[in-house]
Amino acid sequence: MALDYRLGDTIVAPATAMGEAGVGILRLSGPRALAIARALCRRQRPWEPRRAYLQRFYDDRGGALDQGIVLYFPAPNSFTGEDVVELQGHGSPLVLQLLQQSARRLGARDARPGEFSERAFLNGRMDLAQAEGLADLIHAQSESQARAALASLEGRFSEKINELREAILQVLALCEAGLDFSEEDLGSAHRDALEQALKTSQRRLESLLQQARQGARLARGARVALIGRPNVGKSSLLNALAGRESAIVTAIAGTTRDLVREELQIGGLTVELVDTAGLQDSADPVEREGIRRSRATVASSQWVLLVADAAAGWKSDDARILAELDSQRLTIVWNKGDLVAKAPVLPEPRPQLVVSARTGAGLDALRMELQRSLGAVEAAPFSARNRHVHALEECGNALTEAATALSMGNEELLAECLRAAGASLATVTGAMDVEEILGAIFSQFCIGK
């Protein structure tokens, strides 16, 4: 969806979750925020910025609704960069709704999802990476995710992006200087300086890309599918790993007809564990649909646990299912290990574990195997998104092409590759400013005095 640039509007929305609570907050942002808030409080005297005032709240007709705290944050030193007022009352959904309706009648409009953060970005109060860090913090499901998201919100990721971009701009400034003075022989010193500066940028990029991949993996989590023929104990295994009865367990084949999902924390990583319908031929259209969904889930999963029955041994149906799967993303899990002395023999060596969903034996080893297979991380320096990783990879490709251009002595191509590398980084934070390149050139080489 395209950004809405109607910054002249005053917007209003609850800043707290819907539902009964001790406190409910209504937030206003925009040029009329202060006037509307004063009308809702029937306040004549001005409020001092960032000072809490106990006020009665009224509707636009003058009827009393609530009593609470008012905080005023004048532009530009507010979250959105605009005038912001918060009415902090009792957490009644009805009162918040009536206050919001009154604010609309006084000239505000309802904020779109994320519009307060969008305005913060458009007004320069945060960049895109920080805004995404804020979203990650709100949706964090583990301590590791929360700490990494807070680091991004506070600008740690953005700082590293800007440092790398500045380093690339310095290389470009050197390159542009050589092009500007192309009629003069700048000698090997100029080329050596370019090569050294470019290698430094590449090293910085590799380090940052590794950290971003770590942050993205922590933020997005992973999906693991439990797959196998009916009655091997997939649902029992899901329940045992989750620590509660999520899936129905019976001895009847085909009990699981739809996907059952549970979220676990494994090595700081949020893992969605999905119990799927047993893969078998079926004339039941409902069961067939469940099997179709199972296969779709397997295709979108980062790892697959092929569950087999240790007491029954390796069956032709197990081999058939294995043949359908990507064996590079798979571990064979022998369930019902309490019924056998040792794991059955596989036709060929493959990663395998023996567990018992009934007794819990082997579950810790299975969690460790998932942590290893998924590359789970206990912590990350900051949170990141897949788009950030892609942008850094594009930057890396451009720097590789720049090194090739330098080796060919083609500084015009080198400059173009460096511009592309800088543009890729700019997409992470939302910064696109050609003047930065000109500024670097003028400050160091006095070109075009």
357 is in an annotated binding site: yes
The CATH superfamily holding the domain 147-217+385-445 is tRNA modification GTPase MnmE domain 2 (1.20.120.430)
How many beta carbons lie within 10 A of that of residue 356, not counting itself?
A: 21
**Is the per-residue pLDDT at 441 higher than 60?**
no
396 is in an annotated binding site: no
**Is the per-residue pLDDT at 157 higher than 70?**
yes
Residue that wins the pLDDT comparison between 252 and 9: 9
List phi, psi (to 5°) of 83: -60, 130
125 is in an annotated binding site: yes
Instruction: Give the model confidence (pLDDT) of 360-411 as tens digits.
Output: 999 999 998 888 888 766 678 898 988 899 999 999 999 999 999 998 888 8
Identify whether the C-beta of residue 13 lies closer than 8 Å to the C-beta of residue 84. no
Residue-level pLDDT at 248: 46
- Work out the mean pLDDT of the chain and round it to a whole number: 83
Closest CA to 33 of 83, 69, 74, 98: 83
pLDDT-wise least confident of 237-241, 248-252, 410-414: 248-252
3-state secondary structure of 296: helix
75 is in an annotated binding site: no
231 is in an annotated binding site: yes
**Is the per-residue pLDDT at 253 higher than 60?**
no
275 is in an annotated binding site: yes
The winner for highest mean pLDDT among 172-181, 258-267, 270-279, 381-390 is 381-390
372 is in an annotated binding site: no
Residue-level pLDDT at 187: 64
Q: How confident is the model at residue 354 (pLDDT cuts 50, 70, 90)?
A: very high
255 is in an annotated binding site: yes
191 is in an annotated binding site: no
**Is the per-residue pLDDT at 279 higher than 80?**
no
Class for the domain spanning 223-374: alpha beta
pLDDT-wise least confident of 35-49, 133-147, 388-402: 133-147
Identify whether the C-beta of residue 40 lies closer than 8 Å to the C-beta of residue 89. no
Instruction: Kindly state the tokens that stand for 21.
Output: 């609570």
449 is in an annotated binding site: yes
The DSSP code for 15 is: S
Q: What Cα–Cα distance (Å) separates residue 103 from each residue in 10, 60, 202, 365, 401?
A: 10, 7, 53, 57, 56
243 is in an annotated binding site: no
365 is in an annotated binding site: no
Residue-level pLDDT at 377: 65
250 is in an annotated binding site: yes
Residue-level pLDDT at 251: 45
Instruction: Give the model confidence (pLDDT) of 201-230 as tens digits.
Output: 999 999 999 999 888 888 777 889 898 888
**Beta-strand pair 64-73/84-91:** antiparallel
- Provide the sign of the torsion angle of the four alpha carbons 420, 424, 429, 430, taken in this order: positive
**Is the per-residue pLDDT at 120 higher than 80?**
yes
What is the C-alpha to C-alpha distance for residues 276 and 50, in angstroms, rounded to an integer?
A: 54
234 is in an annotated binding site: yes
* C-alpha R_g of the chain: 29
Residue that wins the pLDDT comparison between 396 and 186: 396
Residue that wins the pLDDT comparison between 237 and 343: 237
251 is in an annotated binding site: yes
Identify whether the C-beta of residue 268 lies closer than 8 Å to the C-beta of residue 367. no
278 is in an annotated binding site: yes
Residue that wins the pLDDT comparison between 247 and 17: 17
Residue that wins the pLDDT comparison between 379 and 162: 162
Identify whether the C-beta of residue 335 lies closer than 8 Å to the C-beta of residue 308. yes
Query: Which residues fall within 8 angstroms of residue 135, CB to CB, at 6 or more apart?
Result: 114, 117
Against a cut of 0.75, is the pTM above it?
A: no
Alpha carbon of residue 444 to chain centroid: 38
Residue-level pLDDT at 321: 85
Q: At what angle do helices 128-138 and 156-180 cross, to 10 degrees?
A: 160
256 is in an annotated binding site: yes
146 is in an annotated binding site: no
168 is in an annotated binding site: no
233 is in an annotated binding site: yes
Residue range 323-334: mean pLDDT, rounded: 84
How many residues would you count in the chain?
Answer: 449
Instruction: Give the model confidence (pLDDT) of 286-305 as tens digits.
Output: 556 666 677 777 777 888 89
What is the C-alpha to C-alpha distance for residues 138 and 2, in angstroms, rounded to an integer?
A: 23
Ranges of each domain in the chain: 11-125, 147-217+385-445, 223-374
| Domain 147-217+385-445 and domain 223-374 have a common topology | no
**Is the per-residue pLDDT at 43 higher than 60?**
yes
Residue-level pLDDT at 115: 86
398 is in an annotated binding site: no
253 is in an annotated binding site: yes
Q: Indicate the burial class of 430 (C-beta count within 10 angstroms; 0-12, 13-18, 19 or more).
A: middle
Residue that wins the pLDDT comparison between 192 and 66: 66
Residue range 191-198: mean pLDDT, rounded: 88
Instruction: Give the model confidence (pLDDT) of 15-30 as tens digits.
Output: 988 888 899 999 999 9
**Residue range 11-125, CATH number:** 3.30.1360.120
Q: How confident is the model at residue 9 (pLDDT cuts 50, 70, 90)?
A: very high
232 is in an annotated binding site: yes
**Is the per-residue pLDDT at 435 higher than 80?**
no
